[in-house]
Chain A
Amino acid sequence: MKHTAKLKTGHPYISTTNACKLCKPLGACIAFRGIEGTMPFLHGSQGCATYMRRYIISHFREPIDIASSSLSEKHAVYGGGSNLKLGLNNSIDKYAPTAVGVATTCLTETIGDDVSMLLREWRVDADAECPNPEIPVVNVSTASYSGTHMEGFHAVVRETIAQVALTDAPIPPSQDEDVKIGIKPLNLMPGFVSTADLRHLRDVCEDFGLEPTILPDYSDTLDAPVMAEYEKLTSGGTSLQSIRQMPRAIASIEFGRVLSACGHTGGELLQEKADVPLYAMGMPIGVRESDRFFNTLSRLSDRPIPRRHDLERGRLLDAYADGHKYVFGKRAIVYGEEDLVVGLTAFLSEIGIQPVLCASGGSSGYLKDAIAAVTDGLLREAPQVRDDVDFFDIAQDALTLKPDFLIGNSKGYSFAREQGIPLIRVGFPIHDRMGGQRILHLGYRGSQNLFDLTVNAIIAKKQRDSPVGYGYI
């Protein structure tokens, strides 16, 4: 039985079939692993933590330890406070983290545990039991019944800034002030991007003489080298020291057109509370969106775009010219996290591909406008934009839209296979290929990578379908 066999009926409620989103605490756990020495801790029952670990492992192929307060029936009735405290003590004892990131789950949100209060109580009587009572704890509220994993992810960024960088404590001076003369600190909140993206962003900023604090940065923790000794918490990540310095940066850059439309971001907090100017922009995918990013860096650093990046841009345009015929007029379905969909759509439309459907399980309400903004002047026909959809919906639409390819995470695989549509894997999760965690999407270099992937997928299909086959293109 194929799941596209029958159309939806007119019932007042439509269930979710093969969701195109994940739950909030999952996004929070990933973001917490981008902060140095931080142990993600889920306040809820054991299962969620285990499931999320499994899910994250399937993409990153890395150990990720998520502690849980392992609530049982008794706690569901009387409150989970005691186990939260016990669990904190245990995981601090064993993992010796430098910080703990506590995220709630649907269970603890519904039984009404007041985590901030519980944490204050725990601080007061922690001394006796807790090996490190002074340890910073960031807590976020992530009820999984509202929003997607992206809200959980961004909540960690915002709350870390609020609870670590914007406290009343005096800002510590940077460690080696004199060495860094002429180097300008910059805050960069790139959102949920790949580990390769994070590494590339750091290089780009440094090439401009900027010293970026990237929050979060899981490029080392979730894409680590093999080890001789097992590291309890893989090293790397944004240090607390640099997070505390974020209010002193010359500016903040935040990626995500949907994110900035939603507001209430970490960058906004820094702007309001510490006067750090905020540059909000789309994910730099494609020439137009990447130009915005590079030009901003150039302005902030007061330097021209470094030659190597200028050359990269030139090579990308050269590739656009070389390959434009293969892709022109091709029809694509793009799906995934809202901001990634916006970025990918920007890129596809500038190479002459018609995105026939831009879909996301998110439901911010801002997707449509963001898509309109990035496709402006590039498309002859506005793409269909649908948020709050699942893969049942997308597969249904694909039947009539007849796209040439899909671009999104591995979860589109089953219907891509059913309908015989090539799938270009980007984003999260990619669990049926090697290297999914290392795909570069951002900047001129990331766009180059996506361009080659896209053109080659189309050529491969042409070769496969060709009755004669051909060697040269």
Chain B
Amino acid sequence: MEPTLLKGRETQIYRKGKEPFAIECDKQSLAGAVSQRACVFCGSRVVLYPIADALHLVHGPVGCAVYTWDIRGALSSGPELHRLSFSTDLQERDVIFGGEEKLKNALLELIERYQPNAAFVYSTCIVGIIGDNLDAICKQVEAITGIPVIPVQSEGFKGNKRAGYNAACRAMFRLVGTGDTSDISPYSINILGDFNLAGEIWIIRQYFEKMGVQVVANITGDGRVADISRSHGAALNVVQCSGATLDLAKMMQDTYGVPFERVSYFGVEDMAEALYKVARFFKEEPEILKRAQLVVREELSVLYPKLLEYRKDLEGKKAAIYVGGSFKAFSLVKAFRLLGMDVVMVGSQTGTKEDYQELQEITDEGTIIVDDSNPLELSSFLQEKDVDIFVGGVKERPIAYKLGLGFCDHNHERKEALEGFEGMLNFAREVHSTVMSPVWQFMPRRTGK
């Protein structure tokens, strides 16, 4: 295999078993390296956008807004304002004379047209350069319209996606603490870090509700402004995923004393553990734990026999994982194990040192662990390890298909719910349907033609 590593990238790749564990991460992407990463704006857009009754206005040229128009499957049970793409569509004259006037008029116009419960205004690269005073405009519009108008400081070049998560959390934190909490149960939680892709939050909420736990706010999938504004009244924050909303949980802990637990809803073990964690938190009410056990037992009795069917076919097949956040990667490693498959490569765009440490602990000898990778590296790893399935997002999909191997979309664009016990079954079905497809038999990778 041709060495495809760029100088300056070696330290971000680790092969388990070779040397003592060491990996660098959280670095600025290397110029010219075709990173799979996006920008700060992207990070905050991902987190905030599922709030369905808020207006999301992108202040910038048209590109940033069109490329994020309804690209993610965050579903709403009511309003769908989040699925539209609003932009101030800055033009040359605005770049010269400033875009504040335009922003103000756009906000007034859109708020009047759609009557949202709040507005988020995202700054993009160019706004950072021309120096529009977002804060001032938002304040003015807030005074006129009477709804929260919140600037999101998300200039694309000021860091990576992770910085965008932080900007989003700071923006949401302005809503928290403004709503009435009087009718909230002592056994209540907020669901943080789930975006309701393909309706996943509806599955999770249902488990919690069966346990007798009240869900105050979904942050942010199927999210509502009013719920978030009273979310500080919940007894516990349940945070999924490595980074997206962790900052908000921390802020809420510091300011309102709401503790948090980190969980994952992917895979059987992690899903069950998520429910138990919450149940254990409410230990003064032992019924909750009993009900949680009941939920898990019921779900598993349906799930296991079906999983075993898939496992028969999938035993010994090889999987590679490259996802945005590394927390998801842990669950995926376990989920593949449950299906009898070996994970031979795992990586993420934004993992931390601790994340990678943990990955190296749970993976097998020889597994490649990689931070902030790119198409050339990924394709060479896939070929080297001769994998049967690659798990990633839209940008990774054509790499897998071009090489004639299976793929599972585990990113924001997925249309199948993969969380929860039902999600595990969907996942198994999807993995099965791609790994077992006869089409790969005809691919040049296998036939040499």
Residues in chain A within 8 A of chain B (CB atoms)? 1, 3, 5-6, 8-9, 11-19, 21-23, 25-26, 41, 44-55, 57-58, 61-73, 75-76, 83-84, 86-95, 105-107, 110-111, 143-146, 224, 226-230, 232, 411, 414
**Does B432 belong to the interface (CB within 8 Å)?**
no
Known contacts A11-B109, A16-B88, A75-B157; is-contact A110 B28 (Cβ 8 Å): no
The residues of A that contact B68 with a CB separation of less than 8 Å are 51
Q: In the complex the two chains form, what is the Cα distance from A22 to B32 in whole Å?
A: 23
Known contacts A1-B81, A54-B395; is-contact A87 B31 (Cβ 8 Å): yes
Q: C-beta contact mask, B254-269 vs A, less than 8 Å → 1, else 0?
A: 0000000000000000
The residues of B that contact A230 with a CB separation of less than 8 Å are 376, 379-380, 382-383, 399, 402-403
The residues of B that contact A55 with a CB separation of less than 8 Å are 67
Q: In the complex the two chains form, what is the Cα distance from A191 to B91 in whole Å?
A: 24
Instruction: Specify the chain B residue showing the minimal Cβ separation from A20.
Output: B66
What band does the interface of chain B fall in when counting residues whose beta carbon is under 8 Å from A?
35 or more
Of the residues B38, B71, B113, B129, contact of A50 by C-beta under 8 Å: B38
Instruction: Specify the chain B residue showing the minimal Cβ separation from A84.
Output: B31
Instruction: Specify the chain B residue showing the minimal Cβ separation from A146.
Output: B92
Closest Cβ of chain A to B160, distance in Å, is 7
Q: In the complex the two chains form, what is the Cα distance from A134 to B92 in whole Å?
A: 35
**Does B251 belong to the interface (CB within 8 Å)?**
no
Q: 8 Å CB contacts to A: which residues of B83-140?
A: 83-92, 94-95, 101-102, 105-106, 108-110, 112-114, 125-126, 128-130
Knowing that A47-B38, A227-B402 touch, tell me 12 more A-B residue pairs with CB under 8 angstroms.
A8-B109, A13-B101, A15-B89, A23-B62, A50-B38, A57-B395, A67-B32, A68-B34, A105-B125, A145-B94, A226-B444, A228-B444
5 smallest beta-carbon distances between A and B, as pairs? A47-B39, A23-B63, A90-B32, A87-B31, A87-B32
Pair B86/A89 contact, Cβ less than 8 Å: no
Of the residues B57, B69, B404, contact of A226 by C-beta under 8 Å: B404
Instruction: Specify the chain B residue showing the minimal Cβ separation from A73.
Output: B158
CB within 8 Å: A-B pair count: 261
Of the residues A12, A17, A92, A94, contact of B376 by C-beta under 8 Å: A94
Q: In the complex the two chains form, what is the Cα distance from A106 to B443 in whole Å?
A: 42
The residues of B that contact A227 with a CB separation of less than 8 Å are 402-404, 444-445
Pair A93/B6 contact, Cβ less than 8 Å: yes
Instruction: Specify the chain B residue showing the minimal Cβ separation from A13.
Output: B105
Closest Cβ of chain A to B97, distance in Å, is 12
**Does B35 belong to the interface (CB within 8 Å)?**
yes
Of the residues A51, A65, A75, A228, contact of B445 by C-beta under 8 Å: A228
The residues of A that contact B34 with a CB separation of less than 8 Å are 49, 65-68, 91
Known contacts A13-B109, A47-B39, A145-B95; is-contact A61 B444 (Cβ 8 Å): no
Q: C-beta contact mask, B1-45 vs A, less than 8 Å → 1, else 0?
A: 000101100000000000000000000111111111111111000
The residues of A that contact B445 with a CB separation of less than 8 Å are 226-228
Closest Cβ of chain A to B118, distance in Å, is 14
**Does B397 belong to the interface (CB within 8 Å)?**
yes
Q: In the complex the two chains form, what is the Cα distance from A23 to B124 in whole Å?
A: 14
Pair B62/A91 contact, Cβ less than 8 Å: no
Known contacts A13-B106, A18-B85, A230-B379; is-contact A48 B156 (Cβ 8 Å): yes
The residues of B that contact A3 with a CB separation of less than 8 Å are 84, 114
Q: In the complex the two chains form, what is the Cα distance from A57 to B407 in whole Å?
A: 15
Pair A57/B398 contact, Cβ less than 8 Å: yes
Pair A1/B395 contact, Cβ less than 8 Å: no
Q: In the complex the two chains form, what is the Cα distance from A84 to B31 in whole Å?
A: 7
**Does B61 belong to the interface (CB within 8 Å)?**
yes
Pair B85/A17 contact, Cβ less than 8 Å: yes
Q: In the complex the two chains form, what is the Cα distance from A18 to B64 in whole Å?
A: 12
Pair B109/A51 contact, Cβ less than 8 Å: no
Q: List 30 A-B contacts (CB under 8 A).
A: A1-B114, A8-B113, A11-B108, A13-B105, A13-B109, A15-B86, A16-B85, A17-B110, A18-B69, A21-B66, A46-B156, A47-B38, A48-B39, A50-B39, A67-B33, A72-B157, A73-B157, A73-B159, A76-B125, A86-B32, A90-B6, A91-B34, A94-B6, A95-B376, A106-B63, A111-B129, A145-B95, A146-B92, A230-B379, A230-B399
Instruction: Specify the chain A residue showing the minimal Cβ separation from B113.
Output: A6
The residues of B that contact A70 with a CB separation of less than 8 Å are 28-33, 35
Pair A145/B92 contact, Cβ less than 8 Å: yes
Known contacts A57-B397, A414-B83; is-contact A90 B62 (Cβ 8 Å): no
Pair B156/A224 contact, Cβ less than 8 Å: no
Q: In the complex the two chains form, what is the Cα distance from A68 to B63 in whole Å?
A: 16
**Does B79 belong to the interface (CB within 8 Å)?**
yes
Pair B125/A45 contact, Cβ less than 8 Å: yes
Q: In the complex the two chains form, what is the Cα distance from A57 to B395 in whole Å?
A: 7
Q: In the complex the two chains form, what is the Cα distance from A12 to B108 in whole Å?
A: 11
**Does B305 belong to the interface (CB within 8 Å)?**
no
Pair B65/A50 contact, Cβ less than 8 Å: no
Closest Cβ of chain A to B163, distance in Å, is 10
Closest Cβ of chain B to A265, distance in Å, is 21
Pair A58/B448 contact, Cβ less than 8 Å: no
Which of B85, B95, B380 has the most chain A CB atoms inside 10 A of its CB? B85
Pair B125/A107 contact, Cβ less than 8 Å: yes
Which of B33, B90, B114, B399 has the most chain A CB atoms inside 10 A of its CB? B33
**Does B70 belong to the interface (CB within 8 Å)?**
yes
Pair B448/A228 contact, Cβ less than 8 Å: yes
Known contacts A50-B395, A68-B31, A70-B31; is-contact A107 B129 (Cβ 8 Å): yes
